[in-house]
Chain A
Amino acid sequence: MNYLPNIIFAIALVVGVGYFIKNVKRLWRNVKLGQDKDVSDNKSQRWKNMAMIALGQSKMVKRPVAGFFHIVVYVGFVIINIEVLEIVIDGLFGTHRVFSGLGKAYGFLISSFEVLAALVFIAVVVFWIRRNMIKLKRFMSPEMKGWPKNDGNFILYFEMVLMTLFLVMNATDTTFQNSELYSGNLISQYLTPLFDGLSESSLHIIERTAWWMHILGILVFLNYLYFSKHLHILLAFPNTYYGNLNPKGQFSNNEAVTKEVMLMMDPNADPFAAPTEDESEEAPAKFGASDVQDLSWVNLLNAYTCTECGRCTSECPANQTGKKLSPRKIMMDTRDRLEEVGKNIDANKGEFKDDGKQLLNDYITKEELWACTSCNACTEACPVSIDPLNIIMEMRRYLVMEESAAPMELNNMMTNIENNGAPWPYNQMDRLNWKDE
């Protein structure tokens, strides 16, 4: 017997899956560069969110057209991948359609895969038309030029090719087509006329080629994920699990600041107290974020999860009125900077070497940060619970508390609050004047 195909298959599988695992590890290390954030609370609500938002796609259908076609691709992707199990067994053990012993059930399975494959193909074509012919506004933003645009299209081409290979593989499998028992060729039977007149051996070659390209394509696609925006197919699940559970208007109270403020307000505090042993050894905390390491690991997970759909940006009041701010760009910049930091660490044997760059200014400008109205339209719009607003706020905190770099009018406003307890220069003693006016 000739074991060469089995061996090649096993090697491809090991290399493909192995490289993917390596990248997943790298991704997780990068995410962990972020600050700790305790998200161990309220597990039942978190599971529920994951089930509803990621598994149940509850937020996707807020936009019915994209939502519908997305569900087609999503369901198709998940279910057709059952077929990969058979392909892997066949590949490793040199069998052919090992599950066909299931008889009628097998026919039913494969025909549903075929229907889904055809639907996925149609949906993906619709997506391509939306991006490239209708040119929906949210896919045309400045941050979508170059790689992000190509990336989006590559993914669509990948899916078209994989679905086509699956159907061709079935169409050219003569035993499969001719077996009445299976009757699983619901869609592929209409492709068979394309191959009319070809000899048995040519058909077999086409079938084998399609089979190999299909599985190798899947492995390549799996490894493409890490380099593309498409990671959401995996990360949407943890991301919705770790998503914000508080009311959207609630911004965290910075604990280091609370400590300072409480000390200031404490009449019994000794103003000349020397720092205790362990306090003096702690590096003073940095307020807010100027680079990715200052953000929380959930922010960073958000960044990898973002698939650049742009719903946030299209709902953003600042973006709608022509300001530079785009919540999607905030997420893309965070991810790109994180990748850059990760590569820096890899190149320097596990240590980050200062590269003279940071997320603030080199990626995200102050102009973008100050344009935000904190209205939460972006967080509401995101189908996978990403929170761009939290990053914007952390960076504003850095600008104000570390650099005193707020716009002048805001400094005036804050001075007023400090001096007279209102954002405008009115006397606090006049607060009740309305009563007698």
Chain B
Amino acid sequence: MAEFMAQGKQPEVLFWVGCAGSFDDRAKKITKAFVKLLNRANVEFAVLGTEESCTGDPAKRSGNEFLFQMQAVTNIEVMNAYEVKKIVTACPHCFNTLKNEYPGLGGSYEVVHHTQFLKDLLNDGRLTIEGGQFKGKRITFHDPCYLGRANNVYEAPRDLIRKLDAELVEMKSCKSRGLCCGAGGAQMFKEPEEGSKDINIERTEQALETKPQIIAAGCPFCNTMMTDGVKGKEKEADVAVMDIAELIANAQDL
């Protein structure tokens, strides 16, 4: 972003990478896949790089409003200084926070989830999607809570899967009734309370009931939870957990 500024240019969009996308080894692959797609579509994008900081989502869901607002106000200052207009992110938690909770603190941007952005690129003819290795495969989509119920985005990721000529199979609880993967509300960072089962196992069982070859996700945290779930069920040889961006990038051997 600083480089664009130095050249007196504005990028088309700011790619908000997020903490998982920056640091988590699995999520970094999603980041790279999405960047490959952005480059393929000739999108002039920027990242904040070392100037990006946690949106504050996990702090807010834990109840730490102070820490959240400190993070938010700092990020907003950086983004307003760069005159950011549009943000795309591959993390539904960042997406929700930036889109819904930043405006009240002085940060109003157009915020889209990467599946929405990819769909727009597709509609504008800037990106073509081919089925490739995914043609005819059984793919089920796990709705991230903060994309689906929280913001009513259900169709963009599904449209993209359909474009792969894959067979989209739905779990018994999907869309507005989709079961959480167990990571939301800062659960990602703590052990679950005592119970009979872990939530990600329950959700993985629901996903496996559809006999999928691939479980598609749209959130790095869901991705981790579902990957762990599939491993827990010892199904990792048969079922892959992949982000939508990875599906599209891999289909074109990017």
Contacts and interface: CB of A to CB of B under 8 A. Distances in A.
Interface of A: 246-251, 253-254, 257-258, 260-262, 264-265, 287-288, 315, 317-318, 320-325, 367, 370-377, 380-381, 393, 395-401, 406-407, 409-410, 412-414, 417-418, 421-424, 426, 428-434, 437
A47 B202 CA distance: 39
B108 interface: no
Contacts of A423: 19, 54, 58, 188-189
Interface size class of B (residues with CB under 8 A): 35 or more
11 contacts: A250-B96, A253-B65, A321-B201, A322-B195, A370-B193, A371-B192, A373-B199, A410-B62, A417-B67, A417-B71, A421-B53
B232 interface: no
**Residue in B32, B52, B69, B152 with the greatest tally of chain A CB atoms within 10 Å:** B69
Contact of B190 (A370, A380, A396, A437): A370
Nearest to B77: A265
A251 B50 contact: no
B71 A410 contact: no
Interface string B127-139: 0000000000000
B96 to A, nearest CB: 4
Contacts of B203: 317
A418 B180 CA distance: 27
B191 A258 contact: no
A437 B28 CA distance: 9
Interface in B163-193: 176-177, 179-180, 182-193
Interface of B: 17, 19, 21-24, 28, 31-32, 47, 49-50, 52-54, 56, 58-67, 69-71, 73-74, 77, 96, 99-101, 104-105, 145-146, 149-152, 176-177, 179-180, 182-199, 201-203
Query: Which of A401, A428, A429 has the largest count of B CB atoms less than 10 A from its CB?
Result: A428
A423 B56 CA distance: 9
A406 B21 CA distance: 26
A373 B63 contact: no
A250 B53 CA distance: 20
A373 B185 contact: yes
Q: Which are the 6 A-B pairs with shortest beta-carbon distances?
A: A249-B150, A322-B196, A396-B63, A374-B185, A421-B53, A322-B195
A134 B182 CA distance: 30
B177 A315 contact: yes
A393 B101 CA distance: 15
Nearest to B183: A373
